[in-house]
Structure 1
């Protein structure tokens, strides 16, 4: 049986959602719309004519890195190499030296065979805390995109300007900026999908700034909340747990190719696991 890879467009979003549901994932409409607008969605159409046999998404960040996500195979087409087929296609065509992803326990052995190596971990927290504004941050506007993109580039090691612009102007619930005497100290954004507000991305010069930014997002957006924190951010993890967030699960962050020249100590919240 021959399987061919196609590039899907946003009109086919329901095919991706149906396949996600086939593996007991939620439909996450807003996240899929952002994935389609910021990345390239690849699909393998099912030979039996019933939707997709497999899918994967590549979100490119400039000429430096590609985030790979949503690597899913339909239950009835398992163990036919479709995940590996899609992964090899993305690695061969993405046009960046480095690729990043967060791995499920099921997918990690495949990624390791392809040369990915773990370089940290992220824990996902959920909660519905209440917070008052700190007065230490201000609401961001589209005019702040240059500042936000520059802070993010230094922290992440690759340009995510396009997706940050989508969140700031179309998808997000709001961004906050913290400023000091010499300029911006950090930013944080929030966006909503699947009935939950994800508090991220967040970049800051240190834990105190990050906590102020996230606190002000909680004060100005509806709950419940999801917060994805690197395990190296022990001070913010302790603060989140004290505020009432509960850890739900953790995943390794994996990288293929040259290591990103990032500053992980400044990363305090992901855009979402799907975006690296």
Structure 2
């Protein structure tokens, strides 16, 4: 088995792992992740057995895309892939129930949890937002740094690039973005000064947008979504860190992550 860096030519093989494991990543997501940071693959000849991705920020690195093919389990592949990413500390990731024991053995501890809500928004748009443009990149990157704690202007350049499939709306003190998923769109990041303001941002974006997914750790936002006909999925993801006591930033204003992959 060889571990080497992934490139865009490997995305078709990565998508086979996605299908095997029932994830919802798209080729565009793989392309973005590989553009924002290095990814590593475990190969047996030409066959891709597993993956692990990193997105480096000055404050800490986000780890994601840790996948091992169902036919290649119990060979230590996940541990070897993680060893390729943990040379930088601290690290942050969102763990599924399946992955949490591995990350705990590697020294990660839980500092939070998101719950997954899916549905078609039934309310009206309050009209509190406007469409963000590339001219807003610096403003939104700074707001994101204050709230998420991560310095990542390259992410905002990509989100606001008109050629990419992302939508970004902003208000005077918040921002909400979406990315496509196989069922519709996923919201994230969602930054707002309060839970009620976050709900208004969701209403503006989700009204007329079809099926929407929101991953949030906020009970008020969750109750709002349930009141709009959304369903709460079981499972969720644990927010885990290694090499630090907690995640940075003002997380009281961070109502949905940029994605589980990006922190």
| TM-score w.r.t. length of structure 2 | 0.93
- Residue in structure 1 matching 2:214, options 227, 230, 239: 227
Distance 2:24 2:254 in 1: 27
Residue in structure 1 matched with residue 192 of structure 2 by the alignment: 204
Residue in structure 2 matched with residue 58 of structure 1 by the alignment: 54
TM superposition shift of 1:160: 2.5
Distance 1:39 1:194 in 2: 24
Distance 1:190 1:21 in 2: 22
With over 3 angstroms needed to count, the CA separation of the structure-2 counterparts of 1:131 and 1:143, relative to structure 1, is: farther
User: Do structure 1's residue 254 and structure 2's residue 240 form an aligned pair?
Assistant: yes
Residue in structure 1 matched with residue 15 of structure 2 by the alignment: 17
- Residue in structure 2 matching 1:28, options 26, 29, 42: 26
* 8 Å contact from structure 1 (residues 30, 194) kept in 2: no
* 8 Å contact from structure 2 (residues 122, 229) kept in 1: no
Distance 1:146 1:164 in 2: 8
Residue in structure 1 matched with residue 204 of structure 2 by the alignment: 216
Gaps of 5+ in 2: none
User: Do structure 1's residue 87 and structure 2's residue 82 form an aligned pair?
Assistant: yes
SS in structure 2 of the partner of residue 222 of structure 1: coil
TM superposition shift of 1:128: 0.9
Deviates further, 64-73 or 120-129: 64-73
How well do the aligned residues superpose, as a CA RMSD in angstroms?
1.7
CA offset digits 1:160-216 (Å, max 9, x no partner): 22122212214344212111xxxxx11111121224211111111111221121111
Once the two structures are superposed, the pairs formed by residues 112-261 of structure 1 within 5 Å of their partners are: 112-169=104-161, 170-179=163-172, 185-219=173-207, 222-230=209-217, 233-249=218-234, 250-258=236-244, 259-261=246-248
SS in structure 2 of the partner of residue 273 of structure 1: coil
TM superposition shift of 1:31: 1.8
Distance 2:203 2:70 in 1: 41
TM superposition shift of 1:113: 0.8
With over 3 angstroms needed to count, the CA separation of the structure-2 counterparts of 1:137 and 1:225, relative to structure 1, is: same
* 8 Å contact from structure 2 (residues 119, 231) kept in 1: yes
TM superposition shift of 1:8: 1.1
With over 3 angstroms needed to count, the CA separation of the structure-2 counterparts of 1:37 and 1:71, relative to structure 1, is: same
Distance 1:172 1:216 in 2: 18
Distance 1:144 1:12 in 2: 33
CA offset digits 1:15-37 (Å, max 9, x no partner): 10112222333462222222222
SS in structure 1 of the partner of residue 54 of structure 2: strand
Length, aligned pairs only? 260
Distance 1:173 1:28 in 2: 13
